[in-house]
């Protein structure tokens, strides 16, 4: 028992040390809304009285400028104003006032966010990398403890990694759950949406899950379909996905695995439907939820997360996941599995 506790302490200390290094060198843009809520993430653009902003939790979101009080943006911008004036500088906040800090070192210019007509990025490549590529990827790490109903122990240390960003015209978001007994268990997923306009957009996704705790089992679906953002505001979003999924699964019951039997392979093609919801609550608390179902050998999964802010870049995180699998080739009974986790999440 003492050796296990020492393993936990060393594992969590290494993760926190890595977080501290990254936080020291990467800074997020900030949006303060008129209702007092604060969003941390990456500024994308202002156009047609609308702010487009990327959060690490939900990806790209939009809100009318009338909902925005102040903006703090590290990226140098071309700023076109409604009265025809043009500025080259950074958006900043001084004494609770919105200002533009000119690139030539001149005095800050006081403006209102609603005075801005449009913004364009100014390329300033550091060490050979364009500013847009260097700043538009966000990474969060959340060390904590997770309990799984199909796990080998009641609770175990776990590291959750969330990443979101933009590569050319692809808007990508992914996450991975890595427990202390990796690689016996691993879950990772990624979705990429092509284009930034409203309406139906192409979607490409991939999932991977391995579980050697109770049975020899791993699956890797590839998804190709469409994505529709039903709402995409600063404080809430709701989206729908429909994909054609090609999945290959290897599965074997534990008793047969221990006896040396060879796992069976199941390859199937089916339709997957998914829903995602995000809501920013008062005090910068947030709730996110997703649900997905596959029609082929029916399978469903729901994930929900609740965030409570500690500082601008540190939050407490609580997660709940539920999964249902219908009888498969090597399992004669329906199967439920659940996971509950809690930990701290830090923005990079």
User: Is the pLDDT score of 276 beyond 90?
Assistant: no
b/e per residue 109-131 (b: at least 16 CB within 10 A): eebebeebbebebeeeeeeeeeb
- Each residue of 120-158: pLDDT tens digit? 887 644 434 344 444 467 788 889 998 887 666 668 888
Q: What is the pLDDT of residue 35?
A: 85
Strand partners, 149: none
pLDDT tier, 105 (very low <50, low <70, confident <90, very high otherwise): confident
Q: What is the pLDDT of residue 227?
A: 85
Look up residue 96 and give its DSSP letter: T
CA-CA-CA-CA torsion sign (125, 68, 168, 82):
negative
User: Is the pLDDT score of 327 beyond 70?
Assistant: no
**Angle CA 7–340–21, to nearest 5:** 50
- Each residue of 171-204: pLDDT tens digit? 888 888 888 777 777 888 888 888 766 678 899 9
User: Is the pLDDT score of 5 beyond 50?
Assistant: no
Which phi and psi angles does 251 have, rounded to 5°? -145, 145
Report the alpha-carbon distance of residue 260 to residue 279 in Å, rounded.
48
User: Is the pLDDT score of 313 beyond 80?
Assistant: no
CA nearest neighbour of 140 among 159, 127, 154, 116:
159
- Each residue of 28-74: pLDDT tens digit? 788 998 888 888 888 989 988 899 888 766 667 888 899 999 999 98
CATH domain 137-347 topology: Outer membrane phospholipase (ompla); Chain C (2.40.230)
Report the alpha-carbon distance of residue 257 to residue 266 in Å, rounded.
16
Domain positions in the chain are: 27-134, 137-347
Cβ(236)–Cβ(57) under 8 Å?
A: no
Cβ(83)–Cβ(90) under 8 Å?
A: no
User: Is the pLDDT score of 220 beyond 90?
Assistant: no
- Each residue of 93-102: pLDDT tens digit? 998 899 999 9
């Amino acid at each position: 028992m003492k050796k296990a506790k020492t393993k936990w302490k060393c594992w969590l200390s290494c993760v926190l040390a890595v977080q501290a290094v990254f936080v020291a060198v990467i800074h997020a843009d900030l949006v303060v809304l008129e209702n007092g809520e604060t969003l941390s993430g990456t500024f994308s653009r202002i156009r047609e009285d609308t702010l487009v902003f990327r959060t690490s939790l939900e990806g790209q979101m939009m809100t009318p400028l009338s909902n925005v009080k102040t903006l703090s943006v590290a990226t140098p911008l071309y700023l076109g104003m409604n009265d025809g004036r043009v500025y080259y500088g950074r958006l900043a906040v001084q004494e609770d006032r919105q200002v533009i800090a000119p690139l030539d070192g001149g005095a800050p210019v006081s403006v209102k966010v609603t005075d801005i007509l449009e913004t364009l990025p100014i390329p300033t490549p550091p060490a050979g990398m364009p500013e847009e590529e260097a700043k538009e990827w966000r990474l969060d790490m959340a060390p904590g403890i997770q309990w799984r109903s199909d796990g080998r122990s009641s609770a175990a240390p776990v590291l959750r990694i969330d990443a979101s960003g933009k590569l050319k015209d692809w808007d990508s978001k992914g996450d991975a759950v890595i427990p202390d007994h990796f690689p016996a268990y691993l879950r990772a997923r990624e979705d990429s949406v092509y284009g930034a306009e409203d309406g139906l957009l192409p979607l490409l996704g991939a999932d991977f899950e391995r579980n050697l705790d109770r049975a020899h089992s791993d699956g890797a679906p590839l998804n190709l379909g469409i994505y529709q953002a039903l709402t995409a505001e600063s404080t809430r979003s709701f989206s729908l996905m429909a994909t054609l999924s090609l999945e290959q699964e290897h599965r074997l019951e534990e008793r047969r695995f221990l006896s040396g039997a060879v796992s069976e392979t199941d390859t199937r093609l089916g339709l997957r439907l998914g829903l995602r919801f995000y809501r920013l609550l008062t005090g910068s608390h947030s709730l996110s939820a997703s649900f997905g179902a596959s029609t082929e050998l029916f399978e469903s999964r729901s994930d929900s997360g609740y965030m409570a802010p500690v500082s601008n870049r540190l939050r407490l995180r609580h997660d709940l996941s539920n999964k249902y699998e219908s009888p498969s080739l090597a399992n004669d009974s329906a199967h439920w599995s659940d996971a509950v986790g809690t930990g701290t999440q830090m923005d990079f």
